[in-house]
Amino acid sequence: MSRYVIRRLLQIPFAVLGITLIIFVLIRFRGDPTALYLPPDAPPELREQMRHNLGLDLPLPVQYIRFVSNMVQGDFGMSMWHRQPALDVVLSYIPATVQLMGLALVLGAVLGIVLGLLSATNKGSPLDMVLVSISVFGQSMPSFWLGIMLILLFAVNLRWLPASGRGGWEHYVLPTFTLLMFLVPPTLLLVRSSVLELLREDFVLVARSKGLADRAILYGHVLKNALRPTITSLGMQMGRAMGGAVITETVFAWPGLGRLSVQAVGNRDMALVQASVVILAVWVILCNLIADVANASLDPRIQTD
């Protein structure tokens, strides 16, 4: 088990290197970066001087190594818009994102599993039909539209809740609900279908013929087995959740990392774009790792050595 964890940990630097390579290649495609810093009529000597200072006259592989080693040392360059080191800006926006996303992810996983289980054990009941229809509808609806409609109803018309910004608990209600409508449906449908499938398995028949109570079968055997694909999918969903975060933060003007990265694109603030993309990607990779390790510890069949 510990060897498996170590092997998966060792894969992380390679995944991060791959992402930095993609970013590096894309940025070099863009052309001469000095055009961003200097006016078009700047003298060529000054431009040459700047290229030298920025290390742009070095061979590309050397430039890439410098790019990566600066990043490893926490130097992502200066954010031109915020006039601060890009990493500092990114770090100061992390708490807001972690608070909102942490709440939504935990609630989303719990609700998805509980409601999926309820739906499967009451298959065909009105409750099941309502839950499945809401899930299908939720998957067909742009979450930012839901967010806007919620603002219209609860903030503009009823004036019960604030429309935007971060503050007391009431600021969390609408963004969290929007994220939940986006995060819960896939989990709910997956738990429902895997529980229904498992209930037809032989081991359930055996457990039942032993005289085990339905409740014990459900929690002792079925749920444990249904959790594995669910955990994998929750890990895989992190990328999707990131998209949800970017959109939800923008709709509700939530001062987090997702909104920051979109604003950085609008401001043509490349250092900030790089820093936020790399930090968010590391976060997604770590979440996938946690999901894999949790899975391996649940399922003895997964080869961990």
Partner 1 sequence: MSISLSDSEGSSRANRASGGVAGAVHWAGEHKSLVVGAAILLVVVLVAVFAPVLAPRDPLEQDLFNRLQPPSLSSEGDTPFLLGTDGFGRDILSRILFATRISLTVVVSAIAVSSSTGILLGLMAGYYEGRIGTVIMRAVDMQMALPAILLAVTVIAVFGTSLPNLVIVLAISGWVTYTRIMYSETLSIKQMEYVMAARALGASNLRIMLRHILRNAFGALIVVATLQVGNLILFEAALSFLGLGVPPPTPSLGSMLSEGRNVLAVAAWLATFPGMTIVFMVLGINYLGSGLREILDPKLRIG
Q: What are the residues binding partner 1 (CB under 8 A)? A: 15, 18-19, 22-23, 26-27, 29-30, 136-137, 139-145, 148-149, 151-152, 156, 163, 189, 193, 196-197, 236, 238-240, 242-243, 246-247, 250-251, 261-262, 264-266, 268, 270, 273, 276-277, 280-281, 284-285, 288
Q: CB of 259: closest distance to partner 1 in angstroms?
A: 9
Distances (CA, A) of 228 to 13, 93, 103: 26, 33, 22
Nearer to partner 1, 10 or 210 (CB): 10
b/e for 284-299, b at 16 or more Cβ within 10 A?
bbebbbebbbbbbeee
Query: CB of residue 19 vs partner 1: minimum separation in angstroms?
Result: 6
- For partner 1, which is the closer residue by CB, 159 or 210? 159
Comparison of 22 and 65: residue with beta carbon closer to partner 1: 22
Nearer to partner 1, 100 or 151 (CB): 151
CB of 59 to partner 1, least distance (A): 21
As beta bridge partners, residue 84 has: 79
Q: Please, what is the minimum distance in Å from the beta carbon of residue 83 to partner 1?
A: 19
Closest CB 287 distance from partner 1, rounded Å:
10
- Nearer residue to partner 1 within complex by CB, 29 or 45: 29
Work out how close the CB of 196 gets to partner 1 at its nearest, in angstroms, rounded to a whole number. Answer: 4
Residue 7 or 268: the one with the smaller Cβ distance to partner 1 is: 268
